[in-house]
Structure 1
Amino acid sequence: MTPVLTFHGAAECVTGSCMLLETDQGRFLIDCGMFQGPKTLKALNYEPFPFDASSIDAVFLTHAHIDHSGLLPKLVRAGYRGPIHATRGTRDLCEVMLADAAEIQESEVRHLNRRNARRNIRTVEPIYTTADVDPTLRLFETVKFREPFLAAPGLEVTYWPAGHLLGAASIEMHVADGGDGVRLLFSGDLGSGRQPFLPAPDGPTAVDHVVLESTYGDRERIDPDLDVRREALAEELRLAKAAGGPLLMPTFAVGRAQELILDLLAVMDARPELAGEIFLDSPLAIEATEVFLRRGWNPDTLDNPYASLRTAPRLHHLMRPQESDGLERLRDWHVILAGSGMCDAGRIRRHLKRLLWRKETTVLITGFQAAGTLGRYLLEGRSMIRIQGEDIHVGARIRSLDSYSGHADATGLVDWLGARAPVAGHVLLDHGEPGALAALAARLETSGYRTLSPAIDQAFALSKTGAEPVRPGSGR
């Protein structure tokens, strides 16, 4: 049969990455991620999969971020028993991230059901629980970068560094389909290639179709070198300290938190007048840091840039909720990093409820904020937001630094794609909001590429030279 690729997530939105590839060799998933953002989007996480989980032969995971891996335990709960192929770094990060995601779901459902009981609304069940995580981890099979392996008869797979996160990969698939077969490349999330902490994105040349992420497809970002980035962070610290209150940093716990702490420590060492205590209030980030210490070796720089995090007297790890609550008593200058990075879950919401109304507080946002998230509302300048059913006035200074994003900008995406040339067939754009998709498509088409922007659940038959729509989107 002609390979058929269906987009079950990250279609016309940034989260929920999940693609189903159907071939003569079997049925395969690329990613199985959780939807994040507005409630209407997150509601999709609770719906049954639009495919039979037990019929999937293998999963190929690009990286550990929850919008790419977060529904794997649900998949196993629904009957999946095949292998989950991932790099060692991705597997180790998933061990802590999936357990954390399960705990968050259980906690949030408990709070929600208490509210529902008071309103006489039916209770809900978590998408999955901590009991589903270990069976999922047992299915992981680790792979090495740049080493092709036969995932099934007639299906050769190669993982390439994506430079987005520890262990993150682009995935090349060579599907036997008569003649030379069809060569597919799934970009996953791509880094800028200008970060000192991760290897540069790489990949093969001369592929037939590319599925390309489009998160920053409509914008250019300044990706400064490390010294310039730290200078910008130092200025934010100076302004926050002068405002008279704490600096609160909503932080993506895996990757972003570790880089931010390294930069904070470097700035405070170089400028003692800005020095203060740093509180990492995220059990997930603390556990993930141990993975970075074990697995963070960068082959491009021949060192582990995270090694200094092992001994940092100014850095305090807060594992227990009681330790987090104790921050209320602090009055001196200090910095708090807490998840989640888009302010949609985790301990950051507790700190925002406590501090957001105070004019001396500074909130510094350092990553992409999806539409409908609390972090996006803050960036948009809303004067009142709702957290866990309570309306909070925004009196704090809301600041942002775009130099910490783990995603390539529009030029970076085009350059990465250009290095994969020639592309015989189509470039299918996913993992982007509509404006980003349209802007990147226009840019690529002026360079001679043929692009498609799939709708959710839309399917395409992939010949060597073209992607033909065979099923429309479902409108889920």
Structure 2
Amino acid sequence: MTMTLQCLGATGEVTGSCHLVELNGVQLLLDCGLIQGGKKDELRNHEPFSFNPKTLGAVLLSHAHIDHSGRLPLLMKRGYDGPIYTHKATAELCAFMLRDAASLQQRKVERDNEKREKDDLPVLEPLYTEADVEAVMQHFVPLEYDVSFEPIPGVKVCYRDAGHILGSAMLELWLNDGKQQKKIVFSGDLGRAGMPLLQDPSLIDEADLVLMESTYGDRCHRSWEDTLEELKAIFAKAISESHGNILIPAFSVGRSQELLYLFHLYAKEWDLGRWQICLDSPMAIEATKVYVRNYPLMDDDFRRLVQLQPGNHPLLSNVQFVQSTEESMALNEIHRGLIIIAGSGMCNGGRIRSHLAHNLFRPECDIIICGFQALGTPGRLLVDGATELTVHGNTVPVNALIHTVGGLSAHADQQELLGWYRHFKQTPPVILVHGEPQAQETFQQVLRQADPSPQVVIANMGDKVDLSALPTLTWLS
């Protein structure tokens, strides 16, 4: 009899979420995310999986962000042929997010191959194609929150609202090997209570083990009130002193919709009528449509606004949707009065790159960084104070004013993570994943100081724990 959990991704880093559960010889995969960061990081996506995709019994997907879902087409390309269980809104989002990921990889490989051919190097193949995405989408099984199901024999699963993005979930897993039952809780990416648009993260009472994200385990976000004042001040200063353009690199799913909602709520207070607000991201536009269709999943305030203002939808007012490449390029001819929301959120691809090339060197412009920036990404370089940035092969000086608005984060901060964990009636052992080393080491100490009784460990790649030995963490490799 076997009952194990192995950590195969997002260990000592934020991206590449992937964990393998095995019960009585049948394997279950939690997430299959893309590794993001610098070129060396991205090349790791091409490496073989450390398990046989053909023998997997099922896949459980926590949410649609690419660092959790982005290798699913590759998984199927390499032999997986089973179901992918996830929330129904996540399935809707993945349909176009994975297509976009495939398209980006195809274009990148084409550019790289032009250079490789000149250097007489063998050409590369994309990680997967849009055809692979179409194939994998046929295997998605859409679910609702709070409904239990059995993906493989002996395992019962229930998805709970994680409050991170639309459709995001934390997973409760009950494993029964015929002799005993153990309950594992996988946090996925935890959202924040009291934020606009989405419901608060669910609270769970019991677990024998918590597999827990730790992205912001070493810091606390600014309060929501201070964050709103910070944004108001940025817009006011830009109007009074420079009135150049404002660029906001934003994740297409979650952050973009949150910004649209805030621009609706505070249009008058922030004097946004002076600005032309553009959502320059076809994927963010598609995601916004999914949010609009799934408004019953939102919080009470949002649903109330939708019902009271049917002709002035909170996500569709005060904004211009920019679809075509030509429309996007035309924005670069406008030197003042634009607020441009564009992907990618870490500035490592997408239309934001072109807008940075045309605005980053201009001291009258502002760049608002409002999401997590992985090591090695251009966004992280800007946050860390880079004086120049390479964009489309050219060196661009950083003269624009860079603002890091951490209070908009969709990830729980240190105290919010701690508060979520403290809701468990007992103190189950914790395995920390989805975080950089400093954040994880700090949060490990915070958890130990709060209560020294539970084991709190930081996962390393390949770590395997014997779940049948819980509540004691016993490592098998």
Cα gap change, 1:214/1:278 in structure 2, threshold over 3 Å: closer, same or farther? same
TM-superposed deviation, 1:311? 7.7
Q: For 1:4-19, list aligned pairs within 5 A.
A: 4-19=4-19
3-state SS of paired residue (2:157): strand
Q: Within 2, Cα distance between the matches of 1:55 and 1:119?
A: 40
Residues 60-102 of structure 1 show CA distances to partners (whole Å, capped at 9, x for unaligned) of 0110000000100111111111110001111111112111111
1:392 alignment partner in structure 2: 396
Q: Please tell me the residue identity of whatever aligns with 1:295.
A: N
Cα gap change, 1:464/1:335 in structure 2, threshold over 3 Å: closer, same or farther? same
Aligned identity (percent) is 36
- Pairing partner for 2:369 from 365, 370, 393: 365
Q: Does structure 1 conserve the Cα–Cα contact (< 8 Å) formed by 2:22 and 2:28?
A: yes
Cα gap change, 1:305/1:331 in structure 2, threshold over 3 Å: closer, same or farther? farther
TM-superposed deviation, 1:464? 2.6
1:378 alignment partner in structure 2: 382
Q: Within 2, Cα distance between the matches of 1:158 and 1:223?
A: 32
3-state SS of paired residue (1:377): helix
3-state SS of paired residue (1:57): strand
1:40 alignment partner in structure 2: 40
Q: Which moved more, 1:56-65 or 1:389-398?
A: 389-398
Cα gap change, 1:218/1:332 in structure 2, threshold over 3 Å: closer, same or farther? closer
3-state SS of paired residue (2:407): coil
Q: Does structure 1 conserve the Cα–Cα contact (< 8 Å) formed by 2:288 and 2:315?
A: no
TM-superposed deviation, 1:405? 0.3
- Pairing partner for 2:235 from 234, 237, 245: 237
3-state SS of paired residue (1:428): strand
The two structures, once aligned, show a CA RMSD in angstroms of 1.8
Q: Please tell me the residue identity of whatever aligns with 1:235.
A: A
2:158 alignment partner in structure 1: 158
TM-superposed deviation, 1:423? 3.6
Q: For 1:17-166, list aligned pairs within 5 A.
A: 17-24=17-24, 26-166=26-166
TM-superposed deviation, 1:177? 2.5
Taking structure 2 as the reference length, the TM-score comes to 0.94
1:402 alignment partner in structure 2: 406
Q: Does structure 2 conserve the Cα–Cα contact (< 8 Å) formed by 1:282 and 1:339?
A: yes
Q: Within 1, Cα distance between the matches of 2:301 and 2:339?
A: 31
2:435 alignment partner in structure 1: 432
Q: Does structure 2 conserve the Cα–Cα contact (< 8 Å) formed by 1:191 and 1:406?
A: yes
2:309 alignment partner in structure 1: none
TM-superposed deviation, 1:146? 1.4
1:460 aligns with 2:459: no
1:194 aligns with 2:194: yes
Q: Does structure 2 conserve the Cα–Cα contact (< 8 Å) formed by 1:276 and 1:334?
A: yes
Q: Within 1, Cα distance between the matches of 2:153 and 2:363?
A: 63
1:204 alignment partner in structure 2: 204
- Pairing partner for 1:469 from 449, 468, 475: 475
Q: Within 2, Cα distance between the matches of 1:210 and 1:272?
A: 45
1:474 alignment partner in structure 2: none
Q: Within 2, Cα distance between the matches of 1:375 and 1:273?
A: 25
TM-superposed deviation, 1:302? 7.0
Q: Within 2, Cα distance between the matches of 1:442 and 1:311?
A: 40
Q: Please tell me the residue identity of whatever aligns with 1:464.
A: L
1:315 alignment partner in structure 2: 319
TM-superposed deviation, 1:271? 4.5
1:337 alignment partner in structure 2: 341
How many residue pairs are counted as aligned between the two chains? 468
Q: Within 1, Cα distance between the matches of 2:351 and 2:200?
A: 32
3-state SS of paired residue (1:172): strand
Runs of 4+ in 1 over 6 A off after TM superposition: none
Q: Does structure 2 conserve the Cα–Cα contact (< 8 Å) formed by 1:6 and 1:19?
A: yes
2:455 alignment partner in structure 1: 450
3-state SS of paired residue (2:201): coil
Q: Within 2, Cα distance between the matches of 1:332 and 1:421?
A: 55
Q: Within 1, Cα distance between the matches of 2:238 and 2:126?
A: 39
Q: Please tell me the residue identity of whatever aligns with 1:277.
A: Q
2:286 alignment partner in structure 1: 287
TM-superposed deviation, 1:306? 8.3
3-state SS of paired residue (2:344): coil
Q: Which moved more, 1:319-328 or 1:119-128?
A: 119-128
